[in-house]
Structure 1
Amino acid sequence: MVDIREWSRRDTARFLRVPGTEDDKYSRGVVALRTGSAAYPGAAVLGVEAAWRAGAGYVRYVGAQRAADAVLARRPETVAGADTGRSRIDAWVIGSGTDAAQRSDAETAQLREILTGPAPVVVDAGALDLVPGATAPLLLTPHAGEFARLQQNLGLQARSDDRPRDVSAVARELRATVLLKGARTLIADPEGPVIEMSAGTGWLATAGTGDVLAGILGALIAANRDAPIAEVAAAGAWLHGHAARHAAGVADGTVPGHPIVALDVAEALPHAIADLLS
């Protein structure tokens, strides 16, 4: 058995702060996203929206033109373009809304460059297969099916009766932080205890909310550059659930609430953050 740590509202609040008079867009964190595709441009929109709403000072989008057009139509303050060589990047988000089977050799090479760079990388969906051999600080965000494939590829035996042990084993094998999404989110790094928390509301189980989570995680990692990634990931996951509760009208726990879509969660982030900071 592995040690389990329950994550709380108070724990999350430590990773959020009100900008001061000395802050600028760079000190608040620079996030770059290489997400979305011609087939799934919405994933890019959701991740970028979430990064902005979670407090990023600067968001750059690098990806398919169709997705870039959709991002700029929704969030014109985003800087879109492939030239990141002169840009400071505090955290990357890659893979959301992409399919490894459809990835070109050029795209693979560009993703590998990110995965061997100095900035932390949130790795989702269609980029998870590239994690072996990566040297950047990593946060993997698989859902249950993607996690099962990771275990299989690593030759690790799954134990359905001990999911915390499974997540911890994958984190140790890959030397990365792993956030397993689900009704009970589990977060493990190679060294510490497994962090566990509830998703907060069943209304969160809807398409695109994982893309929103990835954007939140990128923003918080960029803003907390010296903090342990596992703890920042836990704060992002808790905030994601709290925003969903606000969006669904169940923040006080007294009513059943109502259906939401992923963009509702991103749009509720400022209210959720204000509540945490109050």
Structure 2
Amino acid sequence: MATALRVPTAADDKYSRGVVALRTGSADYPGAAVLGVEAAWRSGAGYVRYIGGAADAVLARRPETVAGADLGRTRIGAWVIGSGTDAAHRSDNETDALQKILAGSVPVVVDAGALDLVAEAAAPRLLTPHAGELARLCTRLGMNADRLEADRAGIVSEVAEKLGATVLLKGATTLIAAPGAQLIAVSNAPSWLATAGTGDVLGGVLGALIAANPQHPIDETAAAGVWLHAHAARLASGAVDGAPGHPIVALDVAEALPLAIAELLA
């Protein structure tokens, strides 16, 4: 786990610490963009760029963020796309922009409203569906989605093989499958984590860790990100040392990330 958390040295700068770009959020769901950006910063990213329809909300919360289209000089280490968007209401221009990202060589964390575009993509991809989204993806791939309830591990692995991508199925036990690799299960999350927006936070965490660790296998980095996200939720909710804990909101999880990282590095 700790190998995915790099302590900056005197030789590091904002670029070497990891550059994350997010194309997330929408007029209907601006909070998804805010939560993902917040989490990327708090997971140790050195530079966060936001491109999307929620720039005002993002900058009001995190003025450190660079908003606007990338001009090719940012040295992006990971993209996060799809959070807080709906493919049914996506414009042709937005579809074109997402397809260009997915056709590149930079790793892409793909969530929610961009999952319909992953089949023809060339970029290294980490898909982060919940069960309903994975079922819809299975249908698109000609698979029997009814098998998902009885065989989550088998379906996740099969989708990963079909797409040549890493698949992270969110849940009480999160499953991570990559082509040709052993399935990884992570189950340290408190039940308080099951609340709206925490998946958007996870996207930001994953983007930051992937950008900071270009040499690591994506499935292993993803597993570390899931564990870190869940540990931050445990700290935020007080569900530690056998305590039952208390309700939290997604922003609480993002704000607890630095403490979670400090504990892991101690």
Letter of the 1:172 partner, please give it: E
Deviation at 1:156, TM superposition (A): 1.4
Contact 2:19 2:74 in 1 (8 A): no
Letter of the 1:74 partner, please give it: R
Letter of the 2:22 partner, please give it: L
Aligned to 1:149: 136
Letter of the 2:171 partner, please give it: G
Contact 1:17 1:277 in 2 (8 A): no
Aligned to 1:241: 230
Contact 2:236 2:248 in 1 (8 A): yes
Letter of the 1:223 partner, please give it: A
Aligned to 2:162: 173
Contact 1:248 1:260 in 2 (8 A): yes
What is the TM-score with the length of structure 2 in the denominator?
A: 0.98
Deviation at 1:199, TM superposition (A): 4.5
Give the 5 Å matches for 1:1-278: 12-64=1-53, 67-158=54-145, 159=147, 160-252=149-241, 254-278=242-266
Contact 2:107 2:125 in 1 (8 A): yes
Work out the percentage of aligned pairs sharing the same amino acid.
73
Contact 1:147 1:180 in 2 (8 A): yes
Distance 1:39 1:199 in 2: 32
Distance 2:223 2:34 in 1: 23
Letter of the 1:105 partner, please give it: D
Distance 1:101 1:150 in 2: 15
Contact 1:115 1:131 in 2 (8 A): yes
Note the aligned Cα RMSD (angstroms). Answer: 0.8
Contact 1:185 1:199 in 2 (8 A): no
Deviation at 1:83, TM superposition (A): 3.2
Contact 1:168 1:194 in 2 (8 A): yes
SS at match of 1:239: helix
Distance 2:188 2:252 in 1: 16
Any unmatched runs of 5+ in structure 2? none
Provide, for residues 81-125 of structure 1, a one-character-per-residue CA deviation record: whole Å limited to 9, x for no partner: 013323210000000000001100000000000000110000000
Deviation at 1:231, TM superposition (A): 0.3
Number of residues paired by the alignment?
264
What is the TM-score with the length of structure 1 in the denominator?
A: 0.93
Any unmatched runs of 5+ in structure 1? 1-11
SS at match of 1:131: helix
